């Protein structure tokens, strides 16, 4: 296969920037497929070429298959990288890209259908003898039938969208009395977010850890794993902090889970980057799902193994990347990633939008920042509120935690609130420090908004000065949707 000279990036924000950087290192031009709302974003400024594919509404732009393909063709691309989210796990999109004569940078449409559908994936895993959480994955979607199945499984039970991910269409059911309403709600949300109302049920494991394995299928179909990440710190089923490797695994458990991850990926004829997710409780692990795409948290794997997964994806799509059996990858040190969201930590995480007046990420060894916004950009209400990822590496886990806290303390974001204070409190909690946190960690210890610290007189004077400066700088930036300056002066 000929080498790509231009790749279309069918995404936005920090992942679009990440893909563009990888393409630049490989000498490949990019065409950014963006919405009207993302004109003047960092990725927009970095891409070789840009193509507007529709208005801000995702259904009319980033989720519009025809608009993306038309944009890629018009931009002169030979391949499409979907990033994560949006159409990245959409088999119809992968198929349409291929039919249009373009290369989809990711697994085949058949692999996405086989592993990306949560129900089909579990059926495949069951045939392979992999351990599964007790549940119901049947075709009968009648609410009364699903309630009966939930009662057989035993409460608490989780209802999940079969085609879902990222916590969308997921509800925790604690009793029969609330089951009907929550199942119907999950079906509606699944239909809206993923185009299918199909759901399935699982026994809720209340002391589980979330462990996942990075897998990668090379150009020849050979699948290897790139070790594990722990993602137990979750809020409303969405990850906040991830680390590699997990502090919870023995070497024997790591070996057995890695073998299981490769087995399910091999069954799905997997090619490219993917993630096999497990729940771990009382020394036993259970297959949760397979994500047929690049993960948000892929940098921590890259940091402990010294690999570039996005470049590997591109080379694999070109037919170039093959696993070298002589190369033994051994994780070194420890890496932690924190997701920086534009939200108010003192009001329970309500979104915070507006103009980014000042952004400063502190430089230093083995610190990595992935972000999609620069000073002067606007955080809009249209998309996911994640504005950046902060990744650190150090010789061991205690040092990595200490480094992350220091980096977050020294980070400055003017203009919108961020969850940075919230992250610092989580990282400082004794259960996180000990590595014993479970998926109920946030629910148990951080269910209430954190307390806002009082500002000193000096802070207030600095805030007044910064506010005056930004008001002047922002006078030609258009209308700011929400001013954060009434009581706060920075996001940390």
Written as one string, the DSSP assignment of 118-171 is HHHHHHHHHHTT--B-SEE--S---HHHHHHHHHHH-SSEEEEETT--TTTT-E
Tokens representing 339 are 């997701």
In which element (H, E) is residue 228 found? strand 223-235
b vs e for 319-339, b when ≥16 Cβ sit within 10 Å of the residue's Cβ?
eebebeeeeeeebebbbbbbb
Per-residue confidence (pLDDT) for residue 486, from 0 to 100:
32
How many whole angstroms separate alpha carbon 181 and alpha carbon 143?
9
From the candidates 42, 235, 293, 339, which is the catalytic residue? 293
DSSP string across 188-205: HHHHHHHS---EEEEE--
- Taking only Cα atoms into account, the Rg of the chain, rounded to an integer number of angstroms, comes to 22
Q: Is 293 a catalytic residue?
A: yes
Which residues are CB-neighbours of 489 under 8 A, at least 6 positions away? Answer: 414, 455, 459, 460, 462, 463, 466, 467
Per-residue confidence (pLDDT) for residue 192, from 0 to 100:
77
Tens-binned pLDDT, residue by residue, of the chain (492 aa): 779 999 999 999 999 999 999 999 999 999 999 999 999 899 999 999 999 999 999 999 999 999 999 999 999 999 999 999 899 999 999 999 999 999 999 999 999 999 988 888 988 898 888 999 989 989 999 999 999 999 999 999 999 988 766 677 799 999 999 999 999 999 998 887 777 889 999 999 989 999 999 999 999 989 999 999 999 999 988 899 999 999 999 999 999 999 999 999 999 999 999 999 999 999 999 999 999 999 999 999 999 999 999 999 999 999 999 999 888 889 999 999 999 999 999 999 999 999 998 999 999 999 999 999 999 999 999 998 899 999 999 999 999 999 999 999 999 999 999 999 999 999 999 999 999 999 999 999 998 889 888 877 777 777 777 667 666 654 444 333 333 333 333 333
User: Which backbone phi and psi does 36 adopt, to 5 degrees?
Assistant: -60, -30
Per-residue confidence (pLDDT) for residue 475, from 0 to 100:
43
DSSP string across 394-453: ESSHHHHHHHHHHHHHH-EEESS--SHHHHHHHHHSHHHHHT---TTHHHHH-SSPPPPP
Q: Peptide bond before 245: cis, by omega within 30 degrees of 0?
A: yes
Which residue, among 95, 107, 97, has the nearest Cα to 67 in the 3D structure?
Answer: 97
How many whole angstroms separate alpha carbon 164 and alpha carbon 190?
7
| Residue 246 near residue 209, CB atoms below 8 Å | yes
How many whole angstroms separate alpha carbon 462 and alpha carbon 198?
53
Read off the pTM.
Answer: 0.90
Which residue, among 340, 302, 274, has the nearest Cα to 84 in the 3D structure?
Answer: 274
């Amino acid at each position: 296969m000929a080498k790509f000279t231009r790749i279309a990036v069918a995404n936005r924000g920090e992942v679009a920037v990440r893909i563009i950087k990888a393409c630049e290192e490989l000498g490949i031009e990019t065409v950014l497929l963006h919405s009207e709302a993302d004109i003047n974003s960092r990725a927009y400024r970095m891409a070789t070429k840009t193509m507007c594919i529709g208005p801000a509404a995702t259904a009319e732009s980033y989720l519009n298959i025809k608009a993306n393909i038309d944009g890629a063709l018009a931009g002169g691309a030979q391949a499409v990288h979907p990033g994560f989210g949006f159409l990245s796990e959409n088999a119809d999109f992968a198929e349409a890209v291929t039919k249009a004569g373009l290369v989809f940078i990711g697994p085949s449409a058949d692999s996405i259908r086989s592993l990306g559908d949560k129900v089909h994936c579990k059926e495949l895993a069951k045939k392979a003898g992999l351990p599964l959480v007790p549940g119901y994955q049947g075709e009968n979607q009648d609410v009364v039938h699903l309630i009966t199945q939930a009662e057989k499984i035993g409460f608490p039970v989780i209802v999940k969208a079969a085609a879902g991910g990222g916590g969308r269409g997921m509800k925790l059911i604690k009793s029969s009395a609330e089951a009907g309403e929550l199942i119907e709600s999950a079906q509606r949300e699944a239909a809206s977010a993923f185009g299918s109302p199909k759901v399935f049920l699982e026994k809720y494991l209340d002391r589980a850890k979330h462990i996942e394995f990075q897998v990668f299928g090379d150009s020849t179909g050979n699948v290897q794993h790139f070790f594990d990440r722990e993602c137990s710190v979750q809020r409303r089923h969405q990850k906040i902090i991830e680390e590699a490797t997990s502090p919870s695994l023995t070497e024997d458990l790591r070996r057995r889970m890695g073998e299981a991850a490769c087995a399910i990926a091999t069954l799905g004829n997997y090619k490219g980057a993917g993630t096999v997710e497990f729940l771990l409780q009382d020394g036993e692990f259970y297959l949760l799902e397979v994500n047929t795409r690049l993960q948000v948290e892929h940098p921590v794997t890259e940091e402990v193994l010294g690999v570039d997964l996005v470049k590997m994806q591109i080379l694999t799509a070109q037919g170039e990347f093959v696993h070298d059996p002589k190369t033994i990858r051994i994780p070194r040190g420890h890496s932690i990633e924190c997701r920086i969201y534009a939200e108010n930590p003192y009001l329970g995480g309500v979104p915070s939008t507006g103009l980014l007046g000042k952004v400063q990420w502190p430089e230093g060894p083995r610190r990595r920042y992935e972000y999609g916004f620069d000073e002067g950009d606007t955080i809009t209400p249209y998309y996911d509120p994640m504005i950046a990822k902060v990744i650190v590496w150090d010789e061991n886990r205690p040092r990595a935690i200490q480094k992350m806290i220091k980096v977050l303390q020294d980070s400055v974001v003017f203009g919108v609130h961020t969850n940075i204070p919230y992250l610092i409190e989580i990282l400082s909690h004794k259960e996180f420090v000990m590595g014993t946190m479970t998926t109920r960690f946030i629910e148990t210890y951080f269910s209430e908004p954190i307390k806002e610290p009082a500002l000193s007189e000096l802070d207030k004077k600095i805030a007044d000065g910064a506010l005056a400066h930004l008001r002047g700088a922002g006078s030609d930036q258009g209308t700011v949707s929400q001013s954060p300056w009434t009581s706060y002066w920075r996001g940390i």
